C-alpha cells in the first residue's frame, strides 16, 4: 500500500541501529542466555526458541530459560524441550537476551543483574532498561523482530524456525484477529509458510488441543459474566480453579469472550491467585488504552491487551479496576456505525 511506504521506511531505519548493536553483541560473545517473561505465551516461547536456533546457526551456545514451564499447547514446537524452567540463573554468559520483558521482574528469574542485558520488546510498556535495547511497538510479535534479526545476521529461516515464528505471529494476533495487523504481517506469514511453517497444523496445535479443564473453567467464568454499558468482566476464584482442575494456562483467552459482547469497549478477566492476590487481564477494542491503566497499577502490556496484579479480595480488586475504567469509557463519544476498531 503506497500510503504506508514512508512510515515503513522510517520504521526500518529506526530499527537498523538497534539490529547492528545486537548483532555486535552476538558476534563478540560465545555463550548467551535467552529468556522471556514468566507464564510464557506463544510469542515468548516461539521467539525464545527461534532466537536459540539463530544463535546456534551463528556458532554460539545458548541456554533458553523461563521461570514457568512451556504451556502444553506449545510443547510440540521444535526445540520446545530445550527451554528449561528455573527460578535463578547463573553461568558464564556474555550477555542475556531478554525477549518481551519490560523489566527483570517480568521474568521472575533471579540472578539476571549480573549479566549484560539485550532487551528486545514490542510492548507499549517497553522501556530502555538493558545495555542494548530494541523496542518496536509496531511489531506484531517479538518473533517478527527475531525474524528481522535472522535476516540481518544472514541466517537461514529453517522450517523449524519458521514454525516457531509463525506461532508468535498467530498467537499475538489472536489468530490474525487483532493487534498489529498490517500488510507486512501477512507478508511475513507468507514468507514463513514458504519457509516450511504449516499453518493448519500450527493452528490445530495451538487452538484445538485444549484440555477439558479449560472448557470447564471457561464455563464457570462465563456464568459470572457482568456487563455495564461499555464494560464487561468475568472472574474465577481459586476454588473454581481447583474444582475444574484448571492450570494457570487454562485462563488464557477467557477475557476475549467478555470483550466479544456487542457494544463493549473494555473487558476484564479477574483471577484469584492461590495466595489471595488477584490477577487481571484487560482487553480493549481500541478506544481505551489499557496499557496505561495497567501501568498505573504496577502492570503493563499493549494498548489493547494488558495486565496487572492487585491485592485481594476479589470484590475489592474489581471495585478498584472499575473505578479506573468507568471514567475512561464514560468519556468516549458515540461513534455511530464505527464498529469494533482494531484491537
Ligand atoms: Mn508479544
pLDDT tens readout for residues 134-151: 999 999 999 999 999 999
pLDDT reported for residue 36: 98
Taking a C-beta distance cutoff of 8 angstroms, is the pair 337, 238 a contact?
Answer: no
pLDDT reported for residue 180: 81
Instruction: Of 2-16, 281-295, 317-331, give the lowest mean pLDDT range.
Output: 2-16
Q: What is the pLDDT averaged over residues 190-205?
A: 98
| Gap from CA of 58 to ligand 1 centroid (Å) | 24
- Classify domain 212-330 by CATH architecture: Roll (3.10)
Counts for the chain of helices (H) and strands (E), in that order:
11, 12
List, for residues 293-325, the tens digit of each pLDDT value. 999 999 999 899 999 999 999 999 999 999 999
Is the preceding omega at residue 244 within 30 degrees of 0, hence cis?
no
**Adjacency order of strands within the sheet including 266-272:** 226-228, 231-236, 266-272, 278-284, 305-310, 300-301
- The residues spanned by each domain of the chain are 2-207, 212-330
| Gap from CA of 105 to ligand 1 centroid (Å) | 17
C-beta atoms surrounding 76 within 10 Å: 16
| Gap from CA of 270 to ligand 1 centroid (Å) | 21
C-alpha cell read off for 64: 533458553
pLDDT reported for residue 14: 61
List, for residues 161-175, the tens digit of each pLDDT value. 999 999 999 999 999
| Gap from CA of 141 to ligand 1 centroid (Å) | 5
Say how far residue 191 (Cα) sits from the centre of its chain.
Answer: 22
| Gap from CA of 334 to ligand 1 centroid (Å) | 31
Q: Domain 2-207's class?
A: alpha beta
| Gap from CA of 108 to ligand 1 centroid (Å) | 17
| Gap from CA of 219 to ligand 1 centroid (Å) | 27
| Gap from CA of 101 to ligand 1 centroid (Å) | 9
pTM: 0.87
- Mean pLDDT score of the chain: 92
| Gap from CA of 124 to ligand 1 centroid (Å) | 10
- Tell whether the model's pLDDT for residue 339 goes beyond 70: no
- Show the DSSP H helices in 224-337 as ranges: 238-243, 254-259, 290-296, 314-330
251: buried, middle or exposed (CB in 10 Å: 19+, 13-18, 0-12)? Answer: buried
Taking a C-beta distance cutoff of 8 angstroms, is the pair 84, 64 a contact?
Answer: yes
Amino acid at each position: 500500500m503506497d500510503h504506508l511506504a514512508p512510515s515503513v521506511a522510517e520504521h526500518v531505519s529506526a530499527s537498523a541501529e538497534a539490529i547492528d548493536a545486537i548483532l555486535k553483541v552476538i558476534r563478540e560473545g560465545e555463550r548467551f542466555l535467552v529468556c522471556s517473561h514468566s507464564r510464557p505465551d506463544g510469542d515468548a516461547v516461539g521467539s525464545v526458541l527461534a532466537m536459540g536456533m539463530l544463535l546456534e546457526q551463528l556458532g554460539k551456545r545458548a541456554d533458553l530459560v523461563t521461570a514457568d514451564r512451556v504451556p502444553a499447547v506449545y510443547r510440540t514446537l521444535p526445540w520446545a524441550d530445550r527451554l528449561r524452567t528455573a527460578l535463578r540463573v547463573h553461568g558464564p554468559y556474555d550477555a542475556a537476551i531478554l525477549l518481551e520483558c519490560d523489566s527483570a521482574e517480568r521474568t521472575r528469574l533471579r540472578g539476571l543483574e549480573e549479566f549484560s542485558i539485550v532487551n528486545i520488546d514490542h510492548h507499549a510498556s517497553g522501556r530502555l532498561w538493558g545495555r542494548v535495547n530494541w523496542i518496536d511497538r509496531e511489531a506484531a510479535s517479538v518473533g517478527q523482530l527475531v525474524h528481522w534479526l535472522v535476516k540481518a545476521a544472514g541466517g537461514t529461516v529453517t522450517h523449524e524456525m519458521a514454525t516457531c515464528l509463525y506461532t508468535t505471529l498467530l498467537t499475538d494476533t489472536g489468530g490474525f484477529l487483532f493487534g498489529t495487523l498490517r500488510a507486512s504481517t501477512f507478508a511475513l506469514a507468507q514468507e514463513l509458510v514458504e519457509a516450511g511453517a504449516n499453518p493448519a497444523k500450527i493452528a490445530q496445535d495451538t487452538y484445538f488441543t485444549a484440555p477439558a479443564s479449560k472448557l470447564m473453567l471457561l464455563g464457570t467464568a462465563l456464568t459470572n459474566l457482568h456487563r455495564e454499558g461499555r464494560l464487561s468482566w468475568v472472574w474465577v476464584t481459586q476454588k473454581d480453579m481447583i474444582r475444574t482442575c484448571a492450570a494457570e494456562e487454562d485462563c488464557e483467552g477467557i477475557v476475549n469472550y467478555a470483550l466479544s459482547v456487542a457494544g463493549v469497549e473494555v473487558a476484564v478477566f479477574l483471577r484469584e491467585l492461590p495466595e489471595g492476590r488477584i490477577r487481571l487481564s484487560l482487553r480493549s477494542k481500541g478506544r481505551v488504552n489499557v496499557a496505561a491503566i495497567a501501568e498505573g497499577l504496577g502492570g503493563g502490556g499493549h494498548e489493547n491487551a494488558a495486565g496487572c496484579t492487585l491485592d485481594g479480595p476479589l470484590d475489592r480488586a474489581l471495585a478498584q479496576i472499575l473505578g479506573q475504567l468507568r471514567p475512561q469509557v464514560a468519556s468516549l463519544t458515540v461513534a455511530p456505525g464505527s464498529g469494533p476498531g482494531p484491537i
